[in-house]
Amino acid sequence: MTQSLPPKSLVLHADDDPDDIEIVKEAFKPYPNVEVVSFGNGEALLENAAYLSSLGLNPCLIILDINMPRLGGKELLKELRNRKEFDETAIILFSTSTLPNEAAFAKTLNAGFVTKPLHAKQVDQIADIFITQCPEEVRQRLRQSGRTDH
């Protein structure tokens, strides 16, 4: 008898900085049932999120860098919130600075705001911080997918 694997929780991430893409991928490594799909710009995330959603693959979390060429994180957040399929998806603006106006902007669109880490201890905590910003249902699902600390 075959046993099906539990479905993976999909996390979409857009950032034009390849180093920061690696940081986020690494942060979710302790969660083997989380699949992080990354894009180098906002337009690519928007197109792919719409396509994946049409296939019934809805992300449980979307992480957006703020400063990206062509389509920045704030514009992309507005665009996603205008689409029925993403109007309630957990979205986090992931920024290099703690600017109060940007955190307030995220809040007005029911999104979270997380400042990028500066050292190893913060990097280790970043996945937990992302998860904490998600709605309860998403938090439970991501935590069920397990943290496999060594």
The SS3 assignment for 143 reads helix
Considering only 39-47, 82-90, 119-127, 132-140, which stretch makes contact with other proteins by CB under 8 A? 119-127
125 binds other proteins (CB under 8 A): no
- The residue among 19 and 149 lying less far from other proteins, judged by its C-beta, is 19
CA distance 81 to 18: 26
Residues in contact with other proteins, counted by CB under 8 A, come to a total of 20
User: Which element (helix H / strand E) includes 90?
Assistant: strand 90-95
User: What's the DSSP call for residue 4?
Assistant: P
99 binds other proteins (CB under 8 A): yes
CA distance 30 to 131: 13
96 binds other proteins (CB under 8 A): yes
Q: Which residues bind to other proteins, rule: CB under 8 A? A: 17, 19-20, 23, 67, 95-100, 115-123
